[in-house]
Amino acid sequence: MAVLDMIEKPQDLRNIRRELLPDLAKEIRQKIVDVTAQTGGHLGSSLGTVELIIALHYCFDSPKDKFVWDTGHQAYAHKLLTGRRDRFHTLRQFGGVSGFPLRAESEHDHFGVGHASTSISAALGYACARDILKQDHRVVAVANDGSLTGGMAFEALQNAGILGTNLLVVLNDNQMFISHRVGAFGAFLAKLLTLGSVKRMEKKVERFLTRINFWGAYLLRLARRIKVFLFPGVLFEEMGFGYIGPVDGHNLNQLIDVITAVKQLTGPRVLHVVTKKGRGYEPAEQDPVRYHGVSRFDPETGDMVKLEAGPPSYTKIFGQALVKLAKDDPKVVAITAAMPDGTGLDLFRKEFPDRFFDVGLGEQHAVTFAAGLACGGLKPVVAIYSTFLQRSFDQMMHDVALQKLPVVFCLDRAGIVGDDGPTHHGTFDLSFTRVLPHFIVMSPKDENELQHMLKTALNQPGPVALRYPRGNGVGVPLDTEFRLLPLAKGELLREGKDVTLVAIGEPVQSCLETAKILERQGISAAVVNARFAKPLDKAFYLGLARRAPLLVTVEENTVVGGFGGALRELLEGERVEIRTIALPDGFVEHGSQPKLREKYGLTADKIAERVTELLKQRTAP
């Protein structure tokens, strides 16, 4: 019987002989590889944390003890050990297991995550709630080294250091940040530093030195400087944390021993664990960037499954267009937040390394940094996924909009994104960008229009938000010369007298198909590519209203504050009937893009059904 089959809940781990735990780690890795080969997912990061997650569940008692994961893309082993083994094959599928920790899915998922740098803040909240309610459990934040590039993590660290409550932060250092010092000496130090006697002696030495006037202060400063060279955790200790590590994150016996000892310490502590992304699966070990997030692949060879040849992605077209525009304009610079490949800026980085900036997981800094670049006379392009740009709304408002600075925000993955679920859908950006004063907000109907919009955006004297979807383009021919688009005006693509479909972005293509379906039913539908959500040309839309008695807006954005609302605000007081087809006021679950669009009425067939209903309602007595 496989060891993994013996685990129904985390407590079962302690019924297994410790010498079998390495076999369990192998089985978990194989399960992760086999499933993600079929469903896609975050492979490399989850393979790297298998032993760490086994050790944590072995030493702590979930759900009584609380685990808070940072981002959560590394927690597949956690799901397998907490009652979801039999459903793990549904990972990231519609109605299946979420790709991220989700409170509604399991009592062992103590905090829902999907964005980086949040674990320490949330865990500190858990710890303080425990103290106030006089409860007795432990709280563990599992933070990735990359998450410490986000300022929120440091805000939480300094707050936790001041409060001094019992909190364990496990720093998962996957050899892409901080330290590589692992080995027998590191393990020895880790065990040594967990001893209360060592901590007490350290405090006594500090108290003694502070009593010796000038020389004591000098010696204390000298001792701390020496400590910087000997101990990589001095930063944490200066912030009020006890530091233990680094520890080999793949040595299960050592991990269990150290974590068992760390449990006995009080106050805020950092346990520094060094792991390797992709551990145990050679293709992922050799190329951790490529295998960080994967689509379907052959588990035997690691080769990605080749999809049918199709049009290039919006991301690629954006990257190519930006490079072309930057060749003609040396003031164009590009900024991203740890996603150069995902946003298409890898092409820009290769061509213009001195004009490319990757700020790490610091979206807020990225925006204000761009504002400074703009003040300095440059033309910054900030390329960040729609869902992650939400984190910098304040900076967009006060540092860019208020000063009317020419910063271009390129929001990749706008609308329904798919299998990563509610933390990753870009279903709010039309709403939150539209409320920003002085912003121009636009979205292309296809990849060719994206090129022209990018040129248009770079020629504006103020801020612009340009949003476009995940996935391949439509397959239209690409113009070699880019042109400026007329601001605020939409584009009439098809004439019609019964209803006018006004769509923005991705749904324009669906509405063109909808018009054909309606035509077969004897309904004449006009189709308009809105292009802009802000500003809007009132005369243009009043002209459309005179062509047909009903305007139906279609968008892949929440119904609250989106394009439909903008059009109603524009035409308030006019004799125009406007209805909106959009996503509901809520969060969209995980699932494939086609499945979710069908569910939420954004396919051509569903739009046609809704329009037919609306027309019947108008003629009903």
DSSP helix, strand, coil percent of the chain (3-state; round to 5): 45, 15, 40
- With tokens 């709403």, the residue in question is 431
SS (H, E, C) 29-80: HHHHHHHHHHHCEEHHHHHHCHHHHHHHHHHCCCCCCEEEECCCCCCHHHHH
How would you class 310 by CB atoms within 10 Å of its CB: exposed for 0-12, middle for 13-18, buried for 19 or more?
A: exposed
| Closest to 450 in 3D by CA, of 327, 318, 312, 347 | 318
Whether 363 is a known active-site residue: answer yes
- Do residues 110 and 141 make contact, with C-beta atoms less than 8 angstroms apart? no
Whether 391 is a known active-site residue: answer yes
- Do residues 190 and 258 make contact, with C-beta atoms less than 8 angstroms apart? yes
DSSP state of 83: T
| Closest to 55 in 3D by CA, of 176, 151, 190, 178 | 190
Whether 277 is a known active-site residue: answer yes
Catalytic residue among 79, 279, 355, 363: 363
Catalytic residue among 31, 349, 391, 531: 391
Q: How far from each other are the two terminal CA atoms of the chain, in whole angstroms?
A: 69
Q: Is 106 helix (H, G, I), strand (E, B) or coil?
A: coil
- Do residues 100 and 420 make contact, with C-beta atoms less than 8 angstroms apart? yes
The CA distance from 476 to 121, in Å, is 47
How many whole angstroms from its chain centre is CA 137?
30
How many helices (H) and strands (E) the chain has is answered by 24, 19
Catalytic residue among 66, 277, 379, 467: 277
Q: Which residues have a catalytic role annotated?
A: 277, 363, 391
